Structure 1
Amino acid sequence: MPYVLANSYDADLKIWSGSEIEEYFAPDLSIGEIIFHEMRRHPKLIAQISTTEETILTREELHSNAMRVASYMRSKGLLQSDIVGIIARNTSHIPAVAYGCFFNGIAFHSLNIAYDRGTIEKLFSITHPRMIFCDGDEYEKVRDATRGMEDVEIVTMRNHPEGGSTPIEQILSSPIEENFRPVRLEQGIDQTLAILCSSGTTGIPKAVTITNSRQILAGSQDLTTADIQYTHSSLDWITGLLTTVTSGVYSTTRILADNVFDPVYMMRLIEEYRITWILQAPSHMAMMVNSREFESTDFSSIRKYLFGGGRASVETQHLIRSRLSSDCLHFAYGFTELGAMATMNYHFDEKPNSVGRLVSGLKAKIISEEGESLDRDEVGEVCIRNGQHWAGYYGNPEESHKVRDSHGWFHTGDLGYMDDDGFLYIVERKKDMLKYQNIMYYPNDIETIISEMPDVAEVCVFGVWDPINGDEAAAAVVKRQGSDLKAQDIVDYVRGHTDAKYKHLNGGAIIMEDLKRSPNGKTNRMSTKAYFLEVKDRN
């Protein structure tokens, strides 16, 4: 029997509600306090295994390392009002850095390693971190980006440069403060836990604050000490933060890997470590099913397979499900500003195209362009309310008010609708709307058609401007391994599967080895389009 999320509907207010949150911990405890106490309860359990650095740490060892990091920060005079910067891979000691920050009530601002010097400079100039943790590989880039900031200590996690940085080993050999205890938060659970970055597909990413509220645990309460967790996401992405938090709270074993994502390596990890819980990007799923090793990999250990951050074709989902020993592949829809999952779909067979029902503690409504609440099966902007404090985009109140209104509703920018059973369907991003000869359409309309082609692994559709027609649809496609698919095949297929001329690939199609992506792994529609135009110009 699939897990059931209970939703209710207020027909007068036209608002859907998830079930009430069940509190497993005292409501005034911070995330840091919970993790501190839980780690002491299970000292001998294995906390983490780094497969790329070949390290194993028990919870006792990880707890000690986290206290040393926290004690070092205290010795340097860092306060709860200070910020710590992180720009690093999933290396052995990054969890200790995160937990050390949690123990001290200090928020960390985490950036992706792929950011260039200019982006790092702009983002860290917003939060002014006192201490920055990075790999030696990024040291010079980080140093140059922070030259104008005073008293910034850079700690390197590995590949230490000669001089200039503090090696993490120096901190891990420093003393633990006598009678060490996690701090009580000055602002209670409303205090900021971490600062992440928006996906950044348009312009410079924003610094998104995440609070200490329990909402980040929603949908993960079934984790136990027997679980083995894995996500390839690093700490700059909400899925990386969520996995770090839940592994600490529920005393699981976490598998770490700091390599560039490799689908074959990922499948080997699943087999070798008997991974039970996965949180993955749809693009990584597509890469896995497109690998020769997919059919021979043993996925039987997995009991919960979550994916989110973008769409996965129904075909990809079917292929993944065919290899699992139970019905445990679930779409998790959410957004960084919420700091948690918003909905989960535990009913793929009945609702294959839905992102699911609301998780506990949330409310949702669908609104028109005029801001009026819409009824069931009516398409509008999806709005979510969690009733929790949100500090907004760090240092950017104007943009904060655009995404969260005065009544506490997050305006997602996603167009969708709720059906009679309380299942949410996402139609498209509002900003992705295109117009061909003044007829409105969305890239997903065409992506859905192309995804039905058996030789298509991934697809990205975008508009190419034509002075007469407006936005002509064009497609970039990754074909399945061994396929002889041609670009013209895709154009012909779309033309044969829709009578709407404005949905034809009037702008053409290309085959790519891989789509262009944002640092967090999402398909970057703008960059893929730019590559498409570059290729077309050359030809």
Structure 2
Amino acid sequence: MVNFIRFYNRRNPKTVPEIAGVRNPVTDDGMCVIKCTEAVFKWRTMYAVFVPSDVDFYMNDISCLMKCIEEEKLTWYSGYPYEIIKMLDSPDLHRYDISSLRAVVVTGQSVSTNNLNRICDQFPDTMIAYGSTEVQGTMTSNLYSTLDQRRNSVGYPLPHMELKIVGKYGETLPVNQTGEVCVRGWASFLCYFNDPKTTAAVKGHSNWIHMGDVGVMDKTGHVQLLGRMAECVTFKHMGEKVFPQLILDTARSHPKVETAVVIGIPDDRLGDDVCLFVEKKHSTILTEEELECYFQSKLMFLQCPLYYTVLEKLPRVGARGKVHLAKLKEMATKRIATDNKEEQWNR
């Protein structure tokens, strides 16, 4: 942790006074520790403020966060993107003075290009963090990146960290080729506690951590993420393979969509059935037919999902409120089975 904070300070060498808002330790265990440790290193210029526990993973009222920013004059907020998007969409935004906030952290979820641009335009020092618990939270930097690189990549590796893109058989791929992101270095975890089997699956014999993310690296070392390996789906027609980001960006560009998830259900006959789940915005009416027509107007047929499901709320699990993918797969499997029965009956 100490090494991480040293490099973190090198990446963000701010000397101006900073008031950093961090999630209450009741609702977050990662960024809270990192920011508090950073505040110790920057004790002359930085204060760490715990935001109220009302700002939790299931909050419906974003005003508690805006009120905290206004009262504490926060200059930095280490929360999650969905909070920032909800704040920018709030009809009450004009009631609060959040002008002191110049930076937020974009981490923990994928964000559409449109929303990322909105966040960066509002908060110019915004940082896109890429990493996981296994590598101390984040492992890339954008200190020397251009504005375009900051908005279209997760940056380049931190000092003394290695990052590579590998192919299907673990071979290192050249720049501009798509594969799985792997990292190793001082920030790497040693092992999963009492679980050597899982440790070996993630680290192998070379200590390269397989992140499970699909990405591509350019000649400057900047990495663009395209999706999760588990989310890579094959369309049923002509064996076309695409990554989910195109579908997610299209779904999130719909004015009535809050967020979206895409999954693939294996089909031995035709390939994976592509299923899109969206959480509609509060107080809006959105039908599956409307969503399907929207996709058909934006994408080619082979790029469109096969099934569309509109939900009031996506199912979530755990303290961090992550989307319950297993539940979504169960829902998709049941729907596909029902449709197949109806098709056989019609025949």
TM-score, reference length from structure 2: 0.81
Which residue of 482, 497, 511 maps to 2:311?
Answer: 511
Q: In the alignment, what sits opposite 1:254?
A: 48
Residues 292 and 481 of structure 1: is their aligned pair in 2 closer, same or farther, counting only changes over 3 Å?
A: farther
Would you say 1:525 and 2:325 are equivalent positions?
yes
Residues 478 and 407 of structure 1: is their aligned pair in 2 closer, same or farther, counting only changes over 3 Å?
A: same
Residues 230 and 351 of structure 1: is their aligned pair in 2 closer, same or farther, counting only changes over 3 Å?
A: closer
Q: In the alignment, what sits opposite 2:206?
A: 407
Distance 1:347 1:233 in 2: 33
**Which blocks of at least 5 consecutive residues in structure 2 are unaligned?**
340-347
Residues 271 and 531 of structure 1: is their aligned pair in 2 closer, same or farther, counting only changes over 3 Å?
A: farther
Identity %: 22
Secondary structure of the residue that 2:85 maps to in structure 1?
helix
Q: In the alignment, what sits opposite 1:495?
A: 296
Distance 1:225 1:522 in 2: 35
Which residue of 309, 315, 318 maps to 2:114?
Answer: 315
Distance 1:389 1:469 in 2: 40
On the 8 A contact 2:134/2:188 being kept in 1, the answer is: no
The one-letter code of the counterpart of 2:196 is: P
Shift of residue 213, structure 1, vs aligned partner: 5.0
Residues 478 and 229 of structure 1: is their aligned pair in 2 closer, same or farther, counting only changes over 3 Å?
A: same
Secondary structure of the residue that 2:200 maps to in structure 1?
helix
List per-residue Cα deviations over 1:46-66 (Å, max 9, x = no partner): xxxxxxxxxxxxxxxxxxxxx
Secondary structure of the residue that 1:459 maps to in structure 2?
strand
1:434-445 equivalence runs, <5 A:
434-437=233-236, 438-445=239-246
Shift of residue 433, structure 1, vs aligned partner: 2.1
**Which blocks of at least 5 consecutive residues in structure 1 are unaligned?**
1-211
Shift of residue 339, structure 1, vs aligned partner: 0.9
Distance 1:429 1:472 in 2: 17
Distance 1:531 1:289 in 2: 32
On the 8 A contact 1:404/1:410 being kept in 2, the answer is: yes
Distance 2:2 2:204 in 1: 19
The one-letter code of the counterpart of 1:284 is: E
Q: Kindly tell me the number of residue pairs found equivalent between the two proteins.
A: 325
The one-letter code of the counterpart of 1:332 is: A
Residues 462 and 234 of structure 1: is their aligned pair in 2 closer, same or farther, counting only changes over 3 Å?
A: farther
Q: In the alignment, what sits opposite 2:195?
A: 396
Would you say 1:386 and 2:185 are equivalent positions?
yes
Which residue of 96, 99, 104 maps to 1:305?
Answer: 104
List per-residue Cα deviations over 1:13-46 (Å, max 9, x = no partner): xxxxxxxxxxxxxxxxxxxxxxxxxxxxxxxxxx
Secondary structure of the residue that 2:87 maps to in structure 1?
helix
Distance 2:81 2:338 in 1: 31
Distance 1:216 1:530 in 2: 41
Distance 2:72 2:40 in 1: 19
Q: In the alignment, what sits opposite 1:337?
A: 134
CA RMSD of aligned residues (A): 3.0
List per-residue Cα deviations over 1:385-433 (Å, max 9, x = no partner): 2245733111112221222244332221111111123210111211222
Shift of residue 439, structure 1, vs aligned partner: 3.9
Secondary structure of the residue that 1:245 maps to in structure 2?
helix
Q: In the alignment, what sits opposite 2:32?
A: 240
Larger radius of gyration: 1
Residues 519 and 405 of structure 1: is their aligned pair in 2 closer, same or farther, counting only changes over 3 Å?
A: same
Secondary structure of the residue that 2:53 maps to in structure 1?
coil
